[in-house]
Amino acid sequence: MPWMEIANNLPLMIESHQLRVRVDEMPLLSCHLLKGHREQYLAHLLLSFITMGYVWQEGEKNIPKVLPRNLALPFVEVSQNLGLPPILVHSDFVLSNWKKKDPDGPLEIRNLDIIVSLPGGESLKGFILVTLLVEKAAVPGIKALTQAINAVLQSSEDELLQALKQMRTSVVDMIKALRQMHDYVDPAIFYAVIRIFLSGWKDNPAIPEGLIYEGVSEEPLKYSGGSAAQSTVFHAFDELLGVCHSKESTAFLHRMREYMPPSHRAFIEEIHSAPSLREYILSSGSCLLREAYNQCVMALAELRSCHINIVAKYVLTGATKAKDGGLSPLPGTPQALAARGTGGTAVFNFLKSVRDTTMEGIIKQCD
């Protein structure tokens, strides 16, 4: 399988400047023989990584204006089948991109590996797997979220209390998982090497007009790069707790939902259309429920503060260290997204705003 062959050797091909040559020689394959959603997702994973490598092989110099048809056509085809955009998204990068070394062993970092890689070595692998562990830690919280909605529908305060406590524990575990980033990812390598490969062609000064997908569109198409804002988990918790972000942040977050699998988008919509948890707690008059709700909100704000600290370390400190040079296989350290997230936002203003509006969700305690 040519896609698999190329995807298995991406770091080497990019570093030796051979990837574009290999892709240009690749046969045009159709996706109609792919069976079931697992094969479709694997195809999206492979083609998205190959695409990022193809576009950013030379860093911010010599960016191609056109994605060749033998890559663009199957990528767009499989993307349409899955309801995803034809670019690397969070569900490719993290949710579809892991395997256990020992199939019977635990879902822990020492027993995990990634399926497809890009330049960045152990730091890239760590970045993907730590993010996966954050998603894993969220699982009990997502289950508790559905229990909370059912408890509101059945007016069961005891069950709601238990669900909120479980949700808070889950968010605290997500914070612990996220802090492992410091152990597994080198800031200078993240900034100088990894970051550009997650960058998109929308709101990116390095590629302002977008990218032509040959055989798909005469006009350039614009898609945002990979971003933690594409993780369903944060959106789900915000919707349940009734957290209201600024107009600008909300617009960006809603746009990021278009980069999620359709079933994830539908799940968030479902939570949004459920009766308001916040209103239920306010009208219940229960001090215990208020306290449990506030604990969830504070934990979510703490998770966002932890994310801010990590971004500060990996973007600001990473930039300083990367200036010393010599880390990247690409010519020059990427500058276009210097203070922006890979999704194209002014990253600090956005993260701080979202954290602060989370804290504003706190309900005044009983006297």
For residue 259, which phi and psi values (nearest 5 degrees)?
Answer: -100, 10
Q: What whole-number distance in Å separates Cα of residue 124 and Cα of residue 4?
A: 19
Q: How far is CA 81 from CA 34, 74, 214, 352, in A?
A: 11, 11, 19, 36
Q: How far is CA 328 from CA 11, 189, 192, 325, 333, in A?
A: 12, 8, 6, 7, 7
Find all residues with CB under 8 Å of 179, minimum gap 6, and list them: 306
Find all residues with CB under 8 Å of 297, minimum gap 6, and list them: 241, 243, 358, 359, 361, 362
- Residues in binding site for heme b: 307
Cβ proximity of 59 and 328 under 8 Å:
yes
Concatenated DSSP letters of 286-347: -HHHHHHHHHHHHHHHHHHHHHHHHHIIIIIIHHHHHTT----SSSS---TTTTB-TTSSBH
Cβ proximity of 346 and 231 under 8 Å:
no
- Residues in binding site: 307
Q: What whole-number distance in Å separates Cα of residue 304 and Cα of residue 273?
A: 25
